[in-house]
Amino acid sequence: MKIGVFICYCGENIGRTVDCAKVAQVAATFPGVEHSEDYKYMCSDPGQNLIKQAIREKNLDAIVVGSCSPHMHEKTFRKAAASAGVNPYLVEIANLREHCSWIHENVEEATAKAIDLVRIAVEKVKFNEPLTPIRVPVTKRALVIGGGISGIQAALDIANAGYPVTLVEKEPSIGGHMSQLSETFPTLDCSQCILTPRMVEVYQHPNIHLMTYSEVEKVEGFIGNFKVTIRQKARSVNAELCTGCGLCMQSCPIKKKAFSEFDEGLAMRPAMYVPFPQAVPNIPVIDRDVCTYFKTGKCMMCQKVCGRQAVDFEQKDTFITEEIGSIIVATGYKLYSIDKKPEDSFIKGYGEYGYGKYKDVVNGLQFERIASASGPTSGEILRPSDKKEPKKIVFIQCVGSRDESKGFSYCSKICCMYTAKHAMLYKHKVHDGEAYVFYMDIRAGGKMYEEFVRRAIEEDGVKYIRGRVSRIYEENGKYIVKGEDTLAGVPVTIDADMVVLATAMMAQTEAPQLAQMLGVPYDKYGFLAEVHPKLRPVETSTGGIFLAGACHSPRDIPESVAMASAAAAKAMVLFGSDMLEREPIVAKVNAGTCAGCLYCKKVCAYNAIEVKEIRNRQGELVKVVAYVNEGLCQGCGTCNATCPSKSIELIGFKDEQIFSEIHALADMY
Amino acid sequence: MSYGYYPGCSLSGTAKEFDISLKKVLQKLSVELTEIQGWACCGASSAHATSHILSIALPVHSLLLAKEQGLKEVVTPCAACYNRLVNAQHEMKDPSTRTKVETVVDKPYSNGLEVLNLIQFFNLLGADTIKAKVTEKLGHIKAACYYGCLLVRPHDVTGFDDEEQPRTMEAVVEAVGAKTVDWNFKTECCGAAHSIAHTNIVEHLSKKIIDDAIAHGANVIIVACPMCHSNLDMRQLNIIKSFPGQKTIPVLYLSELVGLAMGMSLKELAIDLHFIKADEILKPAEAVTAK
């Protein structure tokens, strides 16, 4: 076997700590090495050409590249080798950057280690076999989890490209938080006016299968071949018979027993309800926790008035299973709780602002509802406690955000903008009112964003005070806001009529469970993680699963929409081909020696081990053996380590390859 | 039942009523207190203003004595002592501090003691135990429970109740049949040790607390801290002088209120030692005896 060794300096990344020329020189003396050289940027075009040229000139059979992590450039070098006629799986990477130069300082020692790493790779590559990628079919149907603006956008993009989409939303209607907003920054256009046409488009789209009041129950399979079980929660209304006339809701005697989720608890709703008049689908649902029938077995008013006999108290949760090729997660966010300190949570709440003790201390979404024409006050700015117009209002930014002692170190990103918008809306509606904003910094990066904030300050006369608020208490019907003006260096006291807290955006409570179900990593806050923060911002480390919107991190509407379209594009890339190529690094069973103990099946985390019957020519069962489903196998090697009879091997990491690596290292000492 | 007792200096001096009333109440409940033999000053404000290690070594000295004397829980009625003791326990979790302090006290340190403030102690004994000994009706008492700063803060150290909206003192007060009011300044600063050097600051701060309690309908302020008591009770005399027309309000220790509910007299509980007389508001209780 003729092996070529190529040592990369990675500019200064490796070259500063490792004597690359020396590594190449020493490698040239290793048995089997026919060619060895070093170059400043091996991943560059000229660098790759060096490899191709050497392969052609010296008839090399295998390649070892001493460079960065295989995560970065293994593909690059495999491609280069393949184009010169060497099987891509006869390329091995010695990681001289992450495993060596970046973590050491002493040049001599680092160089010695680099030589070891290259020697190990050379010994391994001698046992590498030519492999061909596994091809699996792709199911061209997407699943979008979450029906807010991100999910809606992703579903529409994919559906418009001609692929079928299943859109799952846990609430009775799609629309998400955006449907609750009054106006949107920086243009002040009405949120519902721009959103509802999209919602209707989703409903009517022939390629979209909309499942509201549903939740994803189980996800199996892998990229291109997911099997997803969805729970359709019992609506207690037959969706096919219901015309959405609304008679049932009017007849429901339980009008004021439940807080409206849509109005953020500022209004009540009946037990039989649609979240808001423009709901999609316009099919009501019975809240079984408050419905009289479900508590006492009596009432049934809604059933009596329904001309279509659509009310079905006996309805049960149903489950459907879908074959899915790609999943887009768009589950959104929730707000930091100001009401109370959640139990067993690292969130500490804001007792000093009154823990929901004071009715007129509201959060950002509640103020959206108050300012919204469809809200409980029909858009008039009235405080919740006595429905009077507040003449002095205080907005406090960064409530929960950028406050490590209260739980979150991160910036929620949207609050500077929406607070400016709130203050502006307030001033537009209460002309003689005074609006104060307490802020830490104003972060208004974005097209027309800074201009928007300046407009609030300069044109609408909103008073911005840089500083924090230490506490709020009630005195003679006023809310005494105690704060500090850190620019003037003086304490500030404002006797406000109403206070709006720009509470932090946080991950949905169920986000970690969903992430675990999908096999997607998440951070300590519960936000789902992308695979690369710069270059692969919507992809997750699990193939075929993409992220959109605030489930990834705090995001505003334009960003969520852009991200959703990006995720949709990624899914469509996948659907663009009929077959998907996968790495052939999978486990393989030697049926001859397998005793059928199936320990491997027990330890496999991916359900990739199946049972296969071996029969003789007469059709009699000889024995059962393990069999690897190459589509599911992730090549983790657990089965390989578990097998008592050494009957499973991991292609590309066979025992002889691992042992040759160990020998190569042991010989040194 | 017996618990360790760390009285601290206040309880034999300015806060004698606190000591007397607590012991009377516990006698009624058949709970014994075993004073730590040889306890030292907790260091109060002076020690931590002088030397960080000294401020830890002083409480550690007493805690180690308690341990040697076989005590498991140590009741510390004074809020400042409580704060210094739990703070020392917290600081001793740091290995380098621990090594330094062990050198000073010349003993190896090990934790395993529970330091309890008065509210924690009453809650540990249980509402039912206390209720069983209640003989008087206190329904006319509307108490503003004042926690001050030392019991709940810093929350990472004391881990006691909620640092902004505490509720555990109310639980004890309500258990003995008195009413509580919701008010603003449960944990507001009373001015603490400024009482000596800057009396006017304390007057100003304490007045705010007193006024808010009265504005929310309270007829008594309940405290569990000698410093708070002296600032709210004794300094109320200055406040009356400085602010004409100022309303007064009696300030009682939690143990005194519990004692009243158990039928003890003002004199027995040493309430008559207070500067602001409590007779007026407590009269109905003395007159009406529930049997």
Lowest mean per-residue pLDDT among A132-141, A423-432, B76-85, B188-197: B188-197
Residue A479 touches partner B, C-beta closer than 8 Å: no
Nearest one of A173, A284, A170, A306 to A236, comparing CA atoms: A284
Neighbours of A326 (CB within 10 A): 29
Structure confidence by residue, pLDDT tens digits, A520-573:
999 999 999 999 899 999 999 888 999 999 999 999 999 999 999 999 999 999
What whole-number distance in Å separates Cα of residue A565 and Cα of residue A133?
A: 30
% residues pLDDT > 70 (chain A)? 99
Structural domain boundaries of chain A? 3-125, 142-330+545-575, 333-506, 587-650
ipTM above threshold 0.90: no
The pLDDT of residue B290: 40
Q: Which fold has domain B127-287?
A: Rossmann fold (3.40.50)
Q: Using CA atoms, how far apart are residues B255 and B130, in angstroms rounded to an integer?
A: 11
Instruction: Please give the Cα distance from B195 to B203 (Å, whole number).
Output: 8
Residues 340-359 of A with CB under 8 A from B: 341, 349-352, 355, 357
How far does B248 lie from chain A, in Å, by closest CA? 19
Using an 8 Å Cβ cutoff, are A117 and A99 in contact? yes
Angle, helices A107-125 vs A20-27, to 10°: value is 40
Q: Do domains A142-330+545-575 and A333-506 have the same CATH topology?
A: yes
**Average pLDDT value for chain B:** 91
pLDDT of residue B147: 96
CA distance B273 to chain A (A): 33
CATH of A3-125, one of 3.30.70, 3.10.450, 2.60.40, 3.40.50: 3.40.50
Instruction: Provide the pLDDT for residue A406.
Output: 83
Question: Taking 60 as the threshold, does the pLDDT of residue B291 lie above it?
Answer: no
Please say if the pLDDT value at position A581 is more than 50.
yes
Any idea which residue has 């230490």 for tokens?
A470
Query: Using alpha carbons only, how large is chain A's radius of gyration in Å?
Result: 31
Confidence of residue B45 (pLDDT cuts 50, 70, 90): confident
Nearest-CA distance from A351 to chain B in Å?
5
Contact check, Cβ <8 Å, B165/A351: yes
Average pLDDT, chain A: 94
Q: Taking CB atoms and an 8 Å cut-off, how many pairs form between chains A and B? A: 18
Mean pLDDT of B123-145: 93
Confidence of residue A255 (pLDDT cuts 50, 70, 90): confident
A contact test, residue of B152, B162, B208 with most A CBs within 10 A = B162
Q: Model confidence over A66-101: pLDDT tens digits?
A: 999 998 999 999 999 999 999 999 999 999 999 999
Q: Tell me which residue of A239, A496, A486, A541 sits closest to A392, measured CA to CA.
A: A496
Amino acid (1-letter code) at residue A91? V
Work out the average pLDDT over A594-618: 92
Residue A668: pLDDT above 60?
no
pLDDT of A629 strictly over 50: yes
Q: A93 near A51, Cβ under 8 Å?
A: no
Peptide bond between residue B250 and the one before it cis (omega within 30 degrees of 0): no
| Whether the predicted pLDDT of B195 surpasses 90 | no
DSSP H stretches of helix in A400-528: 415-429, 449-458, 511-518
Answer for the pair A3, A62: CB distance below 8 angstroms, yes or no: yes
Please name the fold of domain B2-118.
Glutathione S-transferase Yfyf (Class Pi); Chain A, domain 2 (1.20.1050)
B165/A355 touch (CB, cutoff 8 Å), yes or no: yes
pLDDT band at B289 (very low <50, low <70, confident <90, very high): very low
- Which of these ranges, A496-500, A617-621, A665-669, has the smallest mean pLDDT? A665-669
Of B162, B185, B215, the CB nearest to A341: B162
Say if the Cβ atoms of B185 and A351 lie within 8 Å.
no
CB-closest option in A349, A355, A474 to B184 = A474
Per-residue pLDDT for A203 more than 60? yes
Res. B285: pLDDT tops 60: no
Q: Does domain A587-650 have CATH number 3.30.70.20?
A: yes
What mean pLDDT is predicted for residues A119-138? 94
B238-278 pLDDT, tens digit each: 999 999 999 999 999 999 999 999 999 999 999 999 999 98
The whole-number pLDDT of residue A578 equals 93
Does the structure show a pLDDT above 50 at A183? yes
User: Which one of B156, B164, B216 would you mutate to disrupt binding with A, by most A Cβ within 10 Å of its Cβ?
Assistant: B164
Q: Nearest Cα to A23, choosing from A120, A128, A88? A: A120
* From A602-606, B92-96, B115-119, B287-291, the region with the lowest mean pLDDT: B287-291
Which chain B residues are within 8 Å of A470, Cβ to Cβ? Answer: none
Out of A246-255, A305-314, B276-285, least confident range: B276-285
Cβ-Cβ contacts under 8 Å, A341 against chain B:
162
Chain centroid to CA B147? 8
- CA separation for the pair A221, A219 (Å, rounded): 7
Give the DSSP letter string of A165-187.
EEEE-SSSSS-TGGGG-SEETTT
Query: What's the topology of domain A333-506?
Result: FAD/NAD(P)-binding domain (3.50.50)
- What confidence score (pLDDT) does residue A341 get? 67
Do A475 and B163 lie within an 8 Å CB cutoff?
no
Residue whose tokens read 């006595």:
A386
Place of tokens 């299943």: A166
Residue A343 has pLDDT above 80, yes or no: no
Give the whole-angstrom CA distance, residue B81 versus residue A610: 67
Quick: pLDDT tens for B80-113: 999 999 999 999 999 999 999 999 999 999 888 9
| Closest of A336, A381, A333, A376 to residue A556, by C-alpha | A333
Chain B interface test: which of A346, A352, A361, A469 (most B C-beta within 10 Å): A352
pLDDT in tens, A259-295: 999 999 999 999 999 999 999 999 999 999 999 999 9
Residue A356: pLDDT over 90: no
User: By CB neighbour count within 10 A (0-12 exposed, 13-18 middle, 19+ buried), where does B137 fall?
Assistant: middle
* Correct CATH for A142-330+545-575 of 3.50.50.60, 1.10.357.10, 3.40.718.10, 3.30.300.180: 3.50.50.60
The model's pTM = 0.83
Q: According to the model, what pLDDT value does residue B284 have?
A: 53
Distance, in Å, from the CA atom of B93 to the CA atom of B109, rounded to the nearest integer, reads 10
Residue A19 C-alpha, separation from nearest chain B C-alpha, in angstroms: 42
Pairing state between β A469-475 and A463-466: unpaired
Rounded CA-CA distance A306/A412 in Å is: 45
Give the mean pLDDT of A508-519.
94
Tell me the per-residue pLDDT of B111-130, one tens digit each, with 9 for 90 and over.
889 999 999 999 999 999 99
pLDDT of B146 > 60? The answer is: yes
In this model, does residue A518 exceed pLDDT 80? yes
Would you list which residues of chain B are within 8 Å, Cβ to Cβ, of chain A? Answer: 162-165, 182, 184-185, 212, 215
| pLDDT digit string, tens, across residues B150-180 | 999 998 899 888 888 899 999 999 999 999 9
Flag whether residue A630 sits within 8 Å of chain B, measured between CB atoms: no
> Where exactly are the structural domains of chain B?
2-118, 127-287
**Residue A340 binned pLDDT confidence (cut-offs 50, 70, 90):** low
**Mean pLDDT across the stretch A390-397?**
97
